[in-house]
Structure 1
């Protein structure tokens, strides 16, 4: 066995929860051999059997939702009720692929000159490696695994090192549903082993959710191996409040979009771009509501904010806030590290954030809202698009046609009107620019690692 370990630490109090041995190179080789042996039979499994197992998995996720939500809270600090919500979206995604598998796999006929028949079919290609983050320990895994298992690929999971207990429980549920070792395989390893896995012949592609730096590295490794990749990276998503918006609703949407999961979401509403006619009232009401938010142990009922996932990330966030203030932003509330054990950071509001400020141009991955004032609608769009990322976006307006028109001008992979960026199984999830490429969920996620193959039969 390897002498290295993955350590799970409770970010609410710094207590070590458990340690998990990592795989040695020989262990990893055996896992990959087992994957190689399992793939041919699984790829030929009838669609109805794959769908049945996915439905069993969805049922198991629902049955173990309390256990999963508790473990997520203990390992990365997500408030318990939000963890339950994560299990719900995870089971719904799993059922989406089970319920729609026949349609997703149906050959698509094409009318082509000289053909007796011509069609497009989808074939599995091998093992997909998922390099997954800690902030949505279950949802992120399901998002990559469910469509690939539905399509006949097998899955290898390299989960974040600080949520090994979640990875273990997730794996148990997949195995219990019938996706046995070799079909769904957790690889407790460090990042240094990822490249060797990508280079293994059984691996047909890699999907990563994480930082831009990690994405560039994995994309380079996958490209060198001539294998496709899907990357979901960072975001500094805008929430635009137009001049006709109802302030109370806009504030509620901003709080939901910014502070869910203690602000630790790539698709969180990080820049609140507010028309100048509403900015004073919006900011005052936002501050009032943020000051009322409850920050406590994630297993305490009714809280709004838990600890951040790690102290080093908390300290990085605080440094960004301090730099933003030095650059001209105004600290309205929060912004001070509490004197207590754990990775705590209070919900924080920065106003007077302008272009060039760190709070405008850097991703603040935690409970910090940045208020930006727009002169008018066109200026709001310009501010929203002045960003190296393009993941999600939100527009708040009473006029739905206007909201849609503005939303369609935003440089993002996802645009929502009167709702924060929200994952739905039926809709593709992904970004543009520095937020990555490729899509997950929906039929687009289903085809990401399938061989989209032409079958042409000529007339006699």
Structure 2
């Protein structure tokens, strides 16, 4: 009987790029045994050696950014120049942990009654399983792997099934940097194997980026195994345009925040909430801008919108748009499947969107912007927070103090003023409500799967 395979298909033209054999049960068990041996060795690696390997990994990502961006473009359709940007934030995250390794792991002294010495230390605990999505194939992996490797844990990667070429190339980068098999291990498996891996005694926790349904399933598995989890799930991020905003700047921020990565981002600006005095000018210019967006080959440097990652996801999005229209949304531009091979969808603007409409209540994971009118700033905040998600949010306005006051009242994990939600190595990334829990990046993304241990030595 032939083994199951992971098949990569170019969403721009339906071309099959390659097939990668999945692990059978015996091979999976062997990989886990390698990780057991790898952890026993790696956890004792001197910090200077860990830092050297992290620095080498960051250097390799920078050196091979074009190759990585090309594989990403071919396997999931991200425009090449956006793939380059993905490699740049990825190497920045790795460097953050390389540069701050000693301070992150430095024992913290406490003055405690009766103690000759009292310290808080961070110890590795085993292997962390990362269940990663296709939309940012490198960044998401680095986001979970870099802090865990810095802390002495080893990493197991279960990547999305439609980007096996990305997973293979990423693994090579880690191995070439010195994080050998057993320290960083790609597991080409299906989601049906996740539960067994989480229950393996070696595994100390699991982190997932994906849908809320997948998050619920993984959280239940981790809870049953009494192991920690970190979840970064969906989002319907608001972008509030205040009545004093520069309209051209607001439109560009909205376009960048909504249509980057062809709209396939959890933290995309999906709901554009506009104060009524700005509505007509903003909407008119937004429609004009979206109608002139360059749709084309992801490898073309002028392309702004590529194909969606898969046809089934494109068809799901189109069905959501049609339901939104039936519930009263006005289609201003787009809203159609493009007649060409691949998973193409026209950049779309919907207006007359309000609570109760699918375009307001549901995550539309693709190139669709929903314009929502607010009577004033207070109403805009109410609309923004009327959401089961809480990942990121943006406020656009020329009075920065006023914009900041609005941004601070958003029920989200990340508030931005005059910039769409953007990852920075130095800032924590994560959400609240059904957008998940836990944080990645920065020092707050460091200790989720480390043992925070008390060491107390009594006075003699």
TM-score (norm 1): 0.99
CA deviation profile, 1:142-193 (whole Å, cap 9, x unmatched): 0000000001000000000000000000000100000000000000000000
Aligned to 1:107: 107
CA contact (8 A) 1:2 1:22 kept: no
CA contact (8 A) 1:62 1:87 kept: yes
Aligned to 1:386: 386
The structural deviation recorded for 1:41 is: 1.3
CA contact (8 A) 1:39 1:126 kept: yes
Aligned to 1:279: 279
Q: Give the Cα–Cα distance (whole angstroms) in 1 for the partners of residues 426 and 115 of structure 2.
A: 33
Aligned to 2:45: 45
The structural deviation recorded for 1:400 is: 1.6
Q: List 4+ stretches of structure 1 deviating above 2 A.
A: none
Aligned to 1:341: 341
Q: What count of residue pairs does the alignment treat as equivalent? A: 460
Q: Give the Cα–Cα distance (whole angstroms) in 2 for the partners of residues 217 and 206 of structure 1.
A: 12
> SS in structure 2 opposite 1:393?
strand
Unaligned runs of 5+ in 1: none
Unaligned runs of 5+ in 2: none
Aligned to 1:7: 7
CA contact (8 A) 1:157 1:186 kept: yes
Q: Give the Cα–Cα distance (whole angstroms) in 2 for the partners of residues 111 and 385 of structure 1.
A: 43
CA deviation profile, 1:414-457 (whole Å, cap 9, x unmatched): 11011000000111100001000000001111111111111112
Q: Give the Cα–Cα distance (whole angstroms) in 1 for the partners of residues 2 and 448 of structure 2.
A: 34
Change (3 A) 1:2 1:392: farther
Q: Give the Cα–Cα distance (whole angstroms) in 1 for the partners of residues 78 and 268 of structure 2.
A: 15
Q: Give the Cα–Cα distance (whole angstroms) in 1 for the partners of residues 446 and 402 of structure 2.
A: 32
After TM superposition, the structure 1 = structure 2 runs for residues 257-336 of structure 1, keeping only pairs within 5 Å, are 257-336=257-336
After TM superposition, the structure 1 = structure 2 runs for residues 25-36 of structure 1, keeping only pairs within 5 Å, are 25-36=25-36
Aligned to 1:423: 423
> SS in structure 2 opposite 1:296?
coil
2:196 paired with 1:196:
yes
2:371 paired with 1:371:
yes
After TM superposition, the structure 1 = structure 2 runs for residues 50-449 of structure 1, keeping only pairs within 5 Å, are 50-449=50-449
> SS in structure 2 opposite 1:387?
coil
Q: Give the Cα–Cα distance (whole angstroms) in 2 for the partners of residues 415 and 440 of structure 1.
A: 16
The structural deviation recorded for 1:108 is: 1.1
Q: Give the Cα–Cα distance (whole angstroms) in 2 for the partners of residues 2 and 406 of structure 1.
A: 58
The structural deviation recorded for 1:260 is: 0.2
CA deviation profile, 1:274-325 (whole Å, cap 9, x unmatched): 0001011000010011111000010112110000000000000000000001
CA contact (8 A) 1:236 1:363 kept: yes
CA contact (8 A) 1:2 1:23 kept: no
CA deviation profile, 1:5-40 (whole Å, cap 9, x unmatched): 000000001110000000000000000001001102
CA contact (8 A) 1:126 1:204 kept: yes
The structural deviation recorded for 1:2 is: 6.3
Q: Give the Cα–Cα distance (whole angstroms) in 1 for the partners of residues 387 and 49 of structure 2.
A: 45
The structural deviation recorded for 1:119 is: 1.6
CA contact (8 A) 1:2 1:24 kept: no
CA contact (8 A) 1:308 1:344 kept: yes
CA deviation profile, 1:310-361 (whole Å, cap 9, x unmatched): 0000000000000001101100000011111100001100011011100000
